[in-house]
Amino acid sequence: MTTASLQTLRLAMFSAQPYDRRFFEEARAARRSPVAIDYHDTALDIGTAVLAQGCDAVCVFVNDVLDAAVLERLHGQGVRAVLLRCAGFNNVDLVALARLGMFAARVPAYSPEAVAEHAVAMILTLNRHTHRAFNRVREGNFALDGLLGFTLHGKTAGIVGTGKIGLATARILAGFGCRVLGHDPYPSPAFAALGTMVPLDDLLAQSDIVSLHCPLVDATRHLIGHATLGRMKEGAMLVNTSRGALVDTAAVIEALKSRRLGALAIDVYEQESALFFRDHSSDIIADDVFGRLTTFPNVLVTGHQGFFTIEALREIAAITFDNLDCWRSGGACANVLPAA
Ligand SMILES: NC(=O)c1ccc[n+]([C@@H]2O[C@H](COP(=O)([O-])OP(=O)(O)OC[C@H]3O[C@@H](n4cnc5c(N)ncnc54)[C@H](O)[C@@H]3O)[C@@H](O)[C@H]2O)c1
């Protein structure tokens, strides 16, 4: 790439929210980067790919679609690089990417603690009902019925996926005095200081809280479904801050109705792309499964905000610019997506 083309490098950012613009513009100014960024609040799919016409690269988030058709459309328009503002890349067709010879890099770790802290915030909220207490007290209702929780100290927490976020979650829960169990086909040595690695079935059978921190791949799709829910301790809490499709939502609803599952905290939802990151408060929500979930008093849903801290957004912008610089310079990039 020539110096002239470096000066005119153009990036189309999809699913761009005001906070993306704020942190990317801050990073751009700090680096005096000549890159031009077109911010589009719409998600990337086959219908919106045309917005990247004339751009060298696209910058995408968790619910943007990067299947073969979209990648081919982008490539045909001259786009040669995909920059993910996230760690997970289950929305990218790696085979098509390689076939087209496109560069793609992600932000593998921006603040594992941010997501871990959110997972624990959800556990504490759901257990001690602080979200319900907040509303009650504002209405002058100081009754405690319905707010009964359990003491976290001494309980068993099962961490499925002991990578960066799982490890950070285990560290916090160990600090609360929980006994921590982990399951991971590639166990991290650092976990040994916090807890015990066990087979998944043992983790499910023994844990009062099961928290999911593994990636979404074919082997983990609906990891929590009818069979695995049946192996969980009766009345346990399930927490998912990883990817929605790790959980079979219909099976979870059945388990909540039968009271086999005691509580559910989710920051991610299988069909979230139609809902999350947008204000739908004046819309009729057509997703009846989601609607059913929100009727349970023992279900807490947040809209994929685990990553949403100042530190994490700053890091996402900085690493995305590093990835872009790597691509421009043709240097080795540690954050390139793995081969299919
Ligand atoms: N809610 C959010 O805002 C948010 C933000 C960032 C990441 N995430 C999600 O969190 C996930 C974990 O992120 P991370 O940074 O800890 O990733 P990581 O790669 O550091 O850790 C993932 C771990 O899962 C393990 N794993 C793979 N298959 C497994 C299986 N079948 N069973 C159990 N473990 C398995 C891996 O060996 C690895 O140790 C990401 O994949 C992403 O989907 C969510």
Q: Could you report the per-residue pLDDT of 105-147, keeping only the tens digit for each?
A: 999 988 999 999 999 999 999 999 999 999 999 999 999 999 9
Token pair listed for 38:
């077109």
244 CB near ligand 1 (under 6 Å) = no
Contact partners, residue 189, CB within 8 Å, separation at least 6: none
pLDDT given for residue 7 in this prediction = 60
* Per-residue pLDDT, 340: 80
Catalytic residue (choose from 171, 243, 270, 315): 243
Side-by-side strand order, sheet with 261-266: 196-197, 179-183, 156-160, 209-212, 236-240, 261-266, 299-301
With a 6 Å cutoff on the Cβ, whether 185 touches ligand 1 is yes
Q: Are 43 and 64 in contact (CB under 8 A)?
A: yes
Q: Classify 38 as helix, strand or coil.
A: strand
**CA gap 113, 339 in Å, rounded:** 28
Residue 1 binned pLDDT confidence (cut-offs 50, 70, 90): very low
**Is the shortest distance between the CB of 225 and ligand 1 below 6 Å?**
no
- Taking the centre of ligand 1 as the mean of its atom positions, its distance from the CA of residue 162, in whole angstroms, is 8
Checking if the pLDDT of 320 tops 60, the result is yes
Query: Is residue 131 annotated as part of the catalytic site, yes or no?
Result: no
CA distances from 110 to 35, 99, 306 (A): 22, 29, 12
Known catalytic residue at 304:
yes
**Separation CA 115–CA 106 (nearest Å):** 17
Asked if residue 266 lies in contact with residue 276, where contact means CB atoms within 8 angstroms, the answer is no
Across 215-229, average pLDDT = 97
Ranges in the chain annotated CATH 3.40.50.720: 3-110+309-329, 112-301
CATH number of 112-301: 3.40.50.720
136 CA from centroid of ligand 1 (Å) = 36
pLDDT in tens, 177-195: 999 999 999 999 999 999 9
Fold of 3-110+309-329: Rossmann fold (3.40.50)
CB 267 within 8 Å of CB 241 = yes
Specify the ligand 1 atom closest to the Cα of 162: 39
Q: What is the pLDDT of residue 3?
A: 38
Sheet holding 36-39, edge to edge: 36-39, 10-13, 57-60, 81-84, 103-105
In angstroms, what is the span from residue 165 Cα to ligand 1's centroid? 7
